[in-house]
Amino acid sequence: MDRRSVIGFILIGILFVGYLLVQSNYSQKAQIAEGMRQDSIKQVRQAEIADSLKHAKQLQEEAAKFPQSIDSLIAQNKNAAQITILEDSLRALKQKQILGPFADAVQKTEEFFTLENDVLKIIFTNRGGRIKTVELKKYKDYRGGPLDLINSENNKFGYTFYFNTDKLISTDSLYFQPIIDPSGKKITFRLPGGEGKYFDQVYAFTDTSYLLDYNLQLTGFNEVIPAQLPLLILNWQNEMQEQEKNIDYERQYSKLYFSYANGDMDYKSSNGKIDFDSKIKWVSCQQQFFNATLIAKNEFDNQGYINIYSEDTSSFVKLCNTELYIPYSNQKDFSFPMQYYFAPNEYAALKKLDIGLEDIVPMGTGMIRWLNQWVIVPVFHWLGNFVTNYGLVILLLTLIIKLALTPLTYRSYLSMAKMRVLNPEVAEIREKYKDDQAKLGQEQLKLFRKAGVNPLGGCIPTLLSMPILIAVFRLFPGSIDLRQEGFLWANDLSTYDDLIKLGINLPFGIGSHISLFCVLMTISSIMYVRVNMSQTANLPKEMKFMQYLMPVFFFFFLNSSPAGLTYYYFVSNMVTFAQQWGIRRFFINDEAIHAKIQENKAKPVKKSGFQARLEEAMKKQQQIKQGKGQQQKTKKK
C-alpha cells in the first residue's frame, strides 16, 4: 500500500465519521419531532380522561369547603344534619353524572400488597390494581442494593375503554378493591361497574418461579362498555432502571422486543415507534441481563404499537411504551389470560417457555448465532458445572477453542514459514521488476506456483477462525453468567475493570479509568503483530503502520467493554504465542521446508484454471501498458 492509498483511506474515514455525525444529528431531530407528534396524539386521545379526572378533583376541592359552610350554618341555628345530608347527596349525584358507575373508585387512599416466592417479591397497588415494584431476590444491582426490575413513579399499566355511550376512562387512575387469597400466592383487584358488574385483575404465582399468571376477567361489562365502541386498550409504560455500572453499555444492550403470533420477532433499540400489523404474542422490555415480559396465552389484536425513548443524560436506561388491543367483543363473561415473566436472560430457561423468548439473548445472527447456540454456550455452561470461578471457565474455554483450531493454526504458520524461506527470492524479483508492476506480479506468481506455496495460506485459516472470535464478542457482553463474577483484580467480569482510576474524564471513549485487562490485551496484540511481521519481509512501511495502529484503535474501543471480553482476547493472544512457539520448536524446520520447496520447483507444474486466467489477465494488462508507452513514444517523435 503506497502513501497515496493510505491518505485516501484516512480521508474516506474522516468523511465517514463526518457523515455519521451529521446523520446522527438529523436522526435525533427527526426522532424529537416524531416524539412531539406522538405526544400530541396521545394528549388528544386522553383529553376526555383528563376532563373527567379534573371534574373529580373539583368535586374533592368543593367537598373540602363543605365543613366550613356547615359551621357557618350551625352558627345561624340551621339544621346542620339535614344540610350535610343534602350536600352529600348533591355531590354524589354530580360525581355520578361525570364518572357514572366508577364514581366511587376515585379519591381513595393508596394501599400496597405483597406476593412473594423464592425468587420474586412483587408489591401491588390498589390504584389501578397494578404491579408497583418487582424485586429479583437472588440478584443485586451494581451498588449492592435490591435489584428492582420494576420500580419507577413513571411506570403505568392500565386499560382504556368507553362507558356511558361515549365517555373514556382509564383504570390506571381508579382504585380497585383487593381480594386476598388465603394461600398468600394469589390476589384479585376488583373494580365494580354496577350491580353484578365487575372488572377483575387476578394475579397468581405458578409452578415456574419467575412466571406470574395474570388474568383479566370482565363480568357483565357488556352493559358498561357500549356495543358500538367495544374497545379495550392496554397501555403499558415501563421505565427501565439502571442496574449496571456502565449505563451506556446497558443502554446499548437493552431493547424493546415483541413477537407476532406466527413466531416472527422484531425489536426497537433506538428512539422511535413500530406499529403492529399482525396479532401479537408477547412484548418484552429486555435489559442487558434481565427482562420484564408480558405474554398473551392467546394473542393480542393486530393493532397498537411499541415506542422506545432514551437519551444520554437521563437517569434511566430506556423508556418503553406499549399499546395493546384486547380482543373484546362485548361478551357478558369475558376472560383474557396472560402471564408476566420477570427473570434473568438465561438462554436455557427462556427456551423452556417455548415461545421464542430465548431470541432476546444477544448471540448475533446467522453463522455467529449458530456458533454461540450450538458450540460456545453449551461448552461454556458445561465447564461452569465443574468450575465455579468464571475467570477460569473463560481460560478453559479459550484453551478448548484454540486446541480445536490447532490444525488451522499449524497450516497458517507453515504457510508463513514457506513465505519466510522464499523471502530472499521474492526480494530479488521485486528489485528486478520494481519498475514493472505487471511483470513483478507475474514472476511472483510463477515462483509461488513452482514452489507449491499459497501466498494467502497464512490468511485463510485466520479468516476461518474469525467467526469464533466475533461470536464471543457478541455473547460475553450479555452473558448473565459473568454478571458480578470476580476474577483477579476485576470485581465484575460483565463490566470494565477500573483498577486504574484517573479522576478525570478523558476523550475518545477512555472515560475516567483505564482497564488493566484492556491494556494487557493491547500489549499482547502489538506483540502478536510484531511476531507475525518478523515472518514477512519487505512489507511496506504504510502497511506496517496500519498493523500496529489496529491494536491501539481497539484499546480506545474496548476500554469500557466487559473485563471478561478483554481478558478472553488477552488469553487468546497468549495461547496463540504458545502454539506458535510449540509448532516452530517441534514441527517446523526451515531447512527442510527450503529443501522441499527446491524439490517442488524442479517438478513440472500444472496450471489450474484460475492461475491460467490470472496470468492471462496480467499479460493483457502488461500488453495494454506497453501499447500506451509505445503510443506516447510515437507522439513525442
pLDDT one-digit tens code per residue, 557-582: 888 888 998 999 899 889 888 887 88
Q: What is the mean pLDDT of the segment spanning 587-599?
A: 68
Instruction: Name the least confident of 374-383, 456-465, 489-498, 508-517.
Output: 456-465
Rg for the chain, CA atoms, rounded: 35
Q: What is the mean pLDDT of the segment spanning 63-67?
A: 44
Separation between Cα atoms, residue 417 and residue 430, nearest integer Å: 19
Residue 488 lies inside a defined structural domain of this protein:
yes
Q: What is the mean pLDDT of the segment spanning 194-203?
A: 92
pLDDT for residue 286: 94
Residue 38 lies inside a defined structural domain of this protein:
no
Q: Is the separation of the CB atoms in 246 and 496 below 8 Å?
A: yes
pLDDT one-digit tens code per residue, 243-272: 998 888 898 889 999 999 999 999 998 888
Residue 71 has pLDDT above 60, yes or no: no
Separation between Cα atoms, residue 522 and residue 152, nearest integer Å: 41
* Same-domain status, 456 and 475: yes
Confidence of residue 69 (pLDDT cuts 50, 70, 90): very low
* Same-domain status, 337 and 399: no
* Same-domain status, 422 and 352: no
Q: Which residue has the higher pLDDT, 631 or 531?
A: 531
* Same-domain status, 310 and 423: no
* Same-domain status, 343 and 434: no
Q: Is the separation of the CB atoms in 124 and 130 below 8 Å?
A: yes
Report CA-CA distances (Å) from 520 to 384, 465, 468, 517, 563: 25, 22, 21, 5, 11
* Same-domain status, 260 and 375: no
Residue 321 lies inside a defined structural domain of this protein:
yes
From 361, 384, 411, give the residue that closes a domain: 361
Instruction: Name the least confident of 48-62, 167-181, 239-253.
Output: 48-62
Q: Which residue has the higher pLDDT, 423 or 579?
A: 579
Cross-strand partners of 437: none
Report CA-CA distances (Å) from 212 to 203, 310, 335: 7, 28, 16
Residue 401 lies inside a defined structural domain of this protein:
yes
Residue 202 falls in which region: left (phi positive, over 0), alpha (psi -120 to 50) or beta: beta
Residue 520 lies inside a defined structural domain of this protein:
no
Spatial CB neighbours of 233, under 8 Å, sequence gap ≥ 6: 159, 160, 161, 304, 323, 324, 325, 326
Separation between Cα atoms, residue 593 and residue 40, nearest integer Å: 76
Residue 49 has pLDDT above 60, yes or no: no
* Same-domain status, 313 and 214: yes
What is the domain-level CATH number for residue 344?
A: 2.70.98.90
Separation between Cα atoms, residue 516 and residue 570, nearest integer Å: 11
Residue 69 lies inside a defined structural domain of this protein:
no
From 318, 343, 361, give the residue that closes a domain: 361
* Same-domain status, 296 and 198: yes
Spatial CB neighbours of 476, under 8 Å, sequence gap ≥ 6: 482, 562, 564, 565, 568
Confidence of residue 422 (pLDDT cuts 50, 70, 90): confident
Tell me the three state secondary structure of residue 285: strand
pLDDT for residue 614: 58
Confidence of residue 307 (pLDDT cuts 50, 70, 90): very high
Residue 177 lies inside a defined structural domain of this protein:
yes
Element (H, E) at 554: helix 541-558
Tell me the three state secondary structure of residue 631: helix
Residues of the chain above pLDDT 70, percent: 70
Residue 402 has pLDDT above 90, yes or no: no
pLDDT one-digit tens code per residue, 318-342: 999 999 999 998 889 999 999 999 9
Confidence of residue 43 (pLDDT cuts 50, 70, 90): low
pLDDT for residue 501: 80
pLDDT for residue 512: 79
pLDDT one-digit tens code per residue, 505-558: 777 667 778 889 989 998 988 887 777 666 555 556 666 677 777 888 888 888
Separation between Cα atoms, residue 173 and residue 216, nearest integer Å: 17
From 303, 326, 361, give the residue that closes a domain: 361
Separation between Cα atoms, residue 557 and residue 496, nearest integer Å: 12
Q: What is the mean pLDDT of the segment spanning 161-169?
A: 85
Separation between Cα atoms, residue 166 and residue 367, nearest integer Å: 54
Q: What is the mean pLDDT of the segment spanning 123-149?
A: 93
pLDDT for residue 314: 81
* Same-domain status, 472 and 324: no
Separation between Cα atoms, residue 130 and residue 124, nearest integer Å: 6
pLDDT for residue 498: 84
* Same-domain status, 596 and 623: no
Residue 115 lies inside a defined structural domain of this protein:
yes
* Same-domain status, 331 and 430: no
Residue 213 has pLDDT above 90, yes or no: yes
Q: Is the separation of the CB atoms in 290 and 149 below 8 Å?
A: yes
Q: What are phi and psi of 402, to 5 degrees?
A: -65, -35
Note the helical H segments in 326-405. Answer: 347-352, 366-371, 377-384, 390-404
pLDDT for residue 27: 45
Q: Which residue has the cell 455519521?
A: 20
pLDDT for residue 266: 92
Q: Is the separation of the CB atoms in 309 and 271 below 8 Å?
A: yes
Residue 448 has pLDDT above 80, yes or no: no
Domain that holds residue 623: 610-637
Confidence of residue 408 (pLDDT cuts 50, 70, 90): confident
Number of structural domains the chain divides into = 3
Residues of the chain above pLDDT 90, percent: 32
Cross-strand partners of 140: 146
DSSP 20-47: HHHHHHHHHHHHHHHHHHHHHHHHHHTH
Q: What is the mean pLDDT of the segment spanning 458-467?
A: 69
* Same-domain status, 298 and 397: no
Instruction: Name the least confident of 128-137, 339-348, 382-391, 541-550.
Output: 541-550
For the CA atoms of 495, 499, 501, 506, what is the dihedral angle to 10 degrees?
Answer: -50
pTM exceeds cut of 0.75: no
pLDDT for residue 567: 93
Spatial CB neighbours of 185, under 8 Å, sequence gap ≥ 6: 115, 117, 204, 205
Mean pLDDT over each residue of the chain, to the nearest integer: 78
Q: Could you tell me the strand order of the sheet in which 305-309 lies?
A: 167-170, 156-163, 233-239, 319-325, 305-309, 272-275
- What 8-state DSSP symbol labels residue 337? E
